[in-house]
């Protein structure tokens, strides 16, 4: 499913490349990946607690 979403939203990075340099896009992608995996880790370790619909929305 994640692969399908990547294909579906892959046009976003191509569009952003028209307006921003490659370095900015890479930094944005790294930050968003770090945020997403960090949030998952915090949830799995039970350091934070969120309702299921919020977890689904954020991830």
Of the candidates 57, 59, 24, 23, the residue with the CA atom closest to the CA atom of residue 40: 59
pLDDT value at residue 29: 82
Which tens digit of pLDDT belongs to each residue from 3-59? 666 666 677 777 888 898 989 888 988 898 898 889 889 989 989 988 888 888 876
Q: How far is CA 5 from CA 12, 23, 56, in A?
A: 12, 23, 14
pLDDT value at residue 56: 82
pLDDT value at residue 26: 86
What distance in Å separates the CA atoms of residue 29 and residue 10, rounded to the nearest whole number?
Answer: 12
Q: Is the pLDDT reported for residue 2 higher than 60? A: no
pTM above 0.75, yes or no: no
């Amino acid at each position: 499913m994640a692969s399908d979403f990547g294909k579906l939203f892959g046009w976003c990075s191509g569009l952003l490349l028209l307006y921003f340099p490659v370095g900015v896009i890479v930094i944005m992608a790294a930050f968003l990946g770090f945020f997403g995996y960090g949030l998952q880790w915090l949830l799995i370790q039970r350091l934070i607690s969120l309702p299921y619909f919020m977890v689904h929305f954020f991830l």
